[in-house]
């Protein structure tokens, strides 16, 4: 894992940078799962995260505030994204990319689980990021059913196949690079929805 402060490479499970001591992950006080430092909620149990303090021998423990980082990436955000992907490795990679960009991620292993989450989740879900081809239901059919429950939710599809069922503007091709996924997510979230009565030029 690369340290966001000094760009030093660390072991994948490291919580603090071996070079500068900067925090790499926050450990959930409830279930003990390590999460990216930007995460406000634990991806394991959903509990609000309380970041652990830096080690005593780290630069941040000298009694002064940590240096303020540079401007946030233009692809970063804080919205809630529902990721629906039946392949665990792809789902975990997608989750990690989004969490590293500040988003709160809810995972669903299949369309039925996604529908259950949408029905019972108490706060807004800003974006559905779903695979197009899944065993139980296509991503297009899932999006139609979820939009009936949450009309304001945006939709972005993932696919490794060439399809004509989804608009190019709403599709990210797999395999994707982290920057490409983050940028596409930001673009879809930032698109203004037409208001009722508006006419296109």
Dump the DSSP string for 135-182: SSS-HHHHHHHHHHH-TT-EEEEEESS--SSS-GGGEEESS--HHHHH
The fold of 80-190 is Rossmann fold (3.40.50)
Domain boundaries, the chain: 1-54, 80-190
CA gap 35, 68 in Å, rounded: 21
Contacts of 8 (CB under 8 A, 6+ apart): 2, 17, 18, 19, 20
Q: Give the tokens for residue 183.
A: 């940028």
Phi-psi region of 102 (alpha: psi -120 to 50; beta: other; left: phi over 0): left
Q: What is the value of pTM for the model shown?
A: 0.61
More confident of the two residues 59 and 143: 143
* Average pLDDT value for the chain: 76
Q: What is the pLDDT of residue 67?
A: 36
Whether 177 shows a pLDDT value over 60: the answer reads yes
pLDDT in tens, 46-86: 666 654 433 434 444 333 333 344 445 666 788 999 999 99
């Amino acid at each position: 894992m690369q340290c966001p402060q000094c760009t030093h490479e660390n072991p994948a499970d490291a919580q603090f940078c071996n070079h500068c001591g900067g925090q790499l992950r926050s450990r959930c006080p409830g279930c003990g799962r390590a999460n990216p430092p930007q995460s406000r909620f634990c991806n394991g149990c959903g509990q609000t995260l309380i970041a652990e303090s830096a080690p005593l021998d780290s630069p941040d423990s000298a009694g002064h505030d940590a240096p303020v980082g540079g401007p946030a990436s233009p692809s970063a955000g804080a919205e809630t994204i529902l990721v629906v992907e039946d392949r665990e490795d792809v789902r975990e990679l997608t989750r990690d990319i989004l969490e590293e960009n500040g988003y709160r991620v809810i995972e669903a292993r299949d369309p039925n689980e996604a529908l259950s989450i949408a029905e019972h989740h108490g706060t807004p879900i800003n974006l559905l990021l779903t695979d197009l081809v899944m065993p139980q239901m296509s991503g297009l059919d899932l999006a139609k059913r979820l939009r009936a429950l949450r009309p304001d939710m945006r939709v972005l599809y993932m696919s490794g196949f060439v399809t004509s069922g989804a608009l190019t503007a709403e599709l990210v091709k797999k395999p994707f690079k982290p920057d490409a996924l983050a940028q596409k997510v930001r673009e879809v979230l930032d698109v203004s929805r037409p208001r009722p009565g508006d006419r296109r030029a």
